[in-house]
Structure 1
């Protein structure tokens, strides 16, 4: 069975290289169930490998041949081997956080082979405190971070006594909204449905506003105002010597601390996340004598209430766009940096709020094209980066979650750094904590783990500065 790729999935596969693997992932820490024995990790591996029926999403791999007229399609793996995808690993002694993060860094560095379904899951034992870790990665062409968080709500339970729960890759009654899906059955590559034609007509109708949106976007960018496109980001050490080797670091803070800063300053929790990152990068770059006089620019995905769409598939006008935010890294005062971030974010959201979802996607895609085209053309490092860092905040479950009695203690996202922005900071809220996952190029971002205490110090300074 083959299915067509949507344009987004095709884009993620096209830009992938050894230097830039395009998978997202996460480190999940669990407490053992109260009735767990010494062989619990082996039991967990067997639970994850015992799947009555696989979800079609987890059986796909990309394929191209003369039969597909040379175009990439999804093909179902006819020789699927779940033991290849669900693996059992152990940490060396002493089994601390350092050993765990070093292992996850290595696992996140390896590219997923196209001849198999594009995902892996590793059950990791040997933590000295008795916890169990699972590192999972899946290609961005199959699933994004928002879909991964939604999957947690489908797979995990609020009930610590519930048993017999299925693995994420098992076929569940409710599909994961937002995951990349093709038609349910076989697809004739020459066939175009009536629905597709109608959708195309809807797109053409809405696309009439694209030229105006493009002019407004570029005009704001030329004037160095917040937009989906940046023309004024400075050169830093984060856009040099990009390689495929990754380093991953993770830590969490109480969400209430961030909320308190936001309330006291009249900002948002997303602003506080970006301001923490800004202060951390200011410290880190000063330490390496690399802080530019000009503010760094962060690419920040934001949820927007866009103007009503005329697309047949639109539902309620919600949209997700990307805003290029001035981080205020040139400002020494923590409160001043937070204000600068808030004003930049506010202006960027206002610029996008007047657009339809299609226009938001198109303008945000233009910003991503700035980053990806030099990669495709082999010109990375020769042009000014469109942004310096990626900062993303994905809301997660507010209450504790369980998998067959094992309590999820922490959920730390691992994402995709790119040439020009060799550091990706993705965080998600879970059970009263804000869990940060930092993913960077091992060469362009040396000693990345030093950023964790810097983030902690910056949160404390923000609390002091705004009286939180």
Structure 2
């Protein structure tokens, strides 16, 4: 048996009836051209023959003397983990997203390994879907999505020889993509790291905090702290119901806008989200006068290395107080540039300490759902790099991979997206009761791209043609 880490235990302790803490991905798949009418049934039968599971998919939670452990289950039951479903007619994406909204709201049974896989047929256009959810205590969101991609091949034939996810080995990374800023959960790790480096290592942390305070007092609009996010309709305690919305947008269009402004694609995505959230809040007569603040994972790598992960949470405002789309993008870019420069001035242990001190005053209320003054952040927005070429799963071409993340008390909306080949796949998950008609954000995201294209004088068709 293996005891759970501090962070893994935290995910179990923080889970509540209204707040399940599993992450998931929805893969939309195109069967091969010669697929028979019962293709999905045959695929499901083949999946049911995979009755073995490797770590972590055979890890079951047990408790001994008040301590949680993972033990390998010797009675693995594929029927508990693999489900074959069919959509109701007419089988549109609307019906698929409604189904995902319902199944994502359901908790995983702790008597079994904490994951479940759904194969879904019945889409009117002949495609099928794979929805895979796994508890955040078992595998983090980014690792789970990467695992799914590792069970895919470069062509249809190669993909048939790859086992299903629960028979494919995975390795947990050292850094985790959390649904909320997590340095306080890593306090022991942070203190040990600083202790090894000596007292002098704390000086850059203090300098960074002092500089941020000076910049904030000087009115630098690019500096965002953990006490400036306004209260909004996104910052309420949530119910157990969920609304999932998903759509793909052209990477070529985003890259054309980014090139014009000297920005990154992530800057453009954040500005798009700011525009969509501004429109949504205006429609609900709930736009705060201060800009919304997002927690955004950013790379802090200062070299060209490819090993390891160097990721931290940054706070950025989304320019929701700005009406002009070009001005909004420039403001978001300035904020992200400030964050990257600040975070890259610290080594990993210093960075964790800096984030812990930055978020500590408000983190308790964020984790427990207790409203204490202003909130830490209004929304979490994560941008995950995905495959750059076509992938296939069990003979089917991957047409989209949409993340389905976590919402928690006081943060009722999570936007996660994956850059994939020529597309950016957005997955939006929110509390159904707290955020009425949340699916309208998809239309507002499209409108935000059009606004920015008009600002630079190009059309969507021109951007795609230039990229090609």
State the 1:199 CA deviation.
12
Alignment of 1:213-252 (within 5 A): 213=205, 216-217=208-209, 220=212, 224=216, 230-252=226-248
Aligned to 2:319: 328
Match of 1:346 among 334, 337, 342: 337
Aligned to 2:453: 463
Aligned to 1:448: 438
223-232 or 274-283, which deviates more: 223-232
Aligned to 1:12: 11
Aligned pair in 2 of structure 1 residues 110, 367: CA closer, same or farther (>3 Å)?
farther
Aligned to 1:135: 131
Quote the Cα distance in structure 2 between the aligned partners of 1:215 and 1:115.
48
Quote the Cα distance in structure 2 between the aligned partners of 1:371 and 1:297.
14
Match of 1:395 among 371, 374, 385: 385
Quote the Cα distance in structure 1 between the aligned partners of 2:310 and 2:431.
30
Aligned to 1:190: none
Aligned to 2:402: 412
Whether the 8 Å contact between 2:31 and 2:397 is mirrored in structure 1 is yes
> Normalised by the size of structure 2, how large is the TM-score?
0.87
Aligned to 2:167: 170
Residues 364-404 of structure 1 show CA distances to partners (whole Å, capped at 9, x for unaligned) of: 4556656652255552x343210001111001001111112
- SS at 1:92's partner residue? coil
Structure 2: unaligned runs, 5 residues or longer? 177-188, 459-468
44-53 or 117-126, which deviates more: 44-53
Structure 1: unaligned runs, 5 residues or longer? 182-197, 309-313
- SS at 2:44's partner residue? helix
Match of 2:365 among 374, 389, 399: 374
How many residue pairs match? The answer is 440
Quote the Cα distance in structure 2 between the aligned partners of 1:315 and 1:257.
27
Aligned to 1:83: 79
Whether the 8 Å contact between 1:307 and 1:355 is mirrored in structure 2 is no
Match of 2:290 among 278, 294, 299: 294
Aligned pair in 2 of structure 1 residues 261, 78: CA closer, same or farther (>3 Å)?
same
Whether the 8 Å contact between 2:151 and 2:168 is mirrored in structure 1 is no
Quote the Cα distance in structure 2 between the aligned partners of 1:367 and 1:60.
35
Aligned to 1:256: 252
Whether the 8 Å contact between 1:213 and 1:359 is mirrored in structure 2 is yes
Quote the Cα distance in structure 1 between the aligned partners of 2:265 and 2:388.
15
State the 1:134 CA deviation.
1.0
Whether the 8 Å contact between 2:190 and 2:352 is mirrored in structure 1 is no
Whether the 8 Å contact between 1:229 and 1:366 is mirrored in structure 2 is no
State the 1:244 CA deviation.
2.0
State the 1:143 CA deviation.
1.9
Residues 404-463 of structure 1 show CA distances to partners (whole Å, capped at 9, x for unaligned) of: 211111101111122222110000011210000000111121111111100000011011
Quote the Cα distance in structure 1 between the aligned partners of 2:362 and 2:22.
17
268-277 or 41-50, which deviates more: 41-50
State the 1:91 CA deviation.
1.0
Match of 2:418 among 425, 428, 431: 428
Alignment of 1:144-155 (within 5 A): 144-155=140-151
Quote the Cα distance in structure 2 between the aligned partners of 1:368 and 1:48.
44
Alignment of 1:61-140 (within 5 A): 61-66=60-65, 70-140=66-136
State the 1:234 CA deviation.
0.2
State the 1:179 CA deviation.
8.0
> Normalised by the size of structure 1, how large is the TM-score?
0.87
296-305 or 6-15, which deviates more: 6-15
State the 1:19 CA deviation.
1.8
Aligned to 1:55: 54
Task: Say whether 1:29 aligns with 2:20.
Answer: no
Residues 6-60 of structure 1 show CA distances to partners (whole Å, capped at 9, x for unaligned) of: 2222222222111221111111100112332222112222333333642110111
Quote the Cα distance in structure 1 between the aligned partners of 2:6 and 2:396.
38
Whether the 8 Å contact between 1:393 and 1:426 is mirrored in structure 2 is yes
Task: Say whether 1:359 aligns with 2:350.
Answer: yes
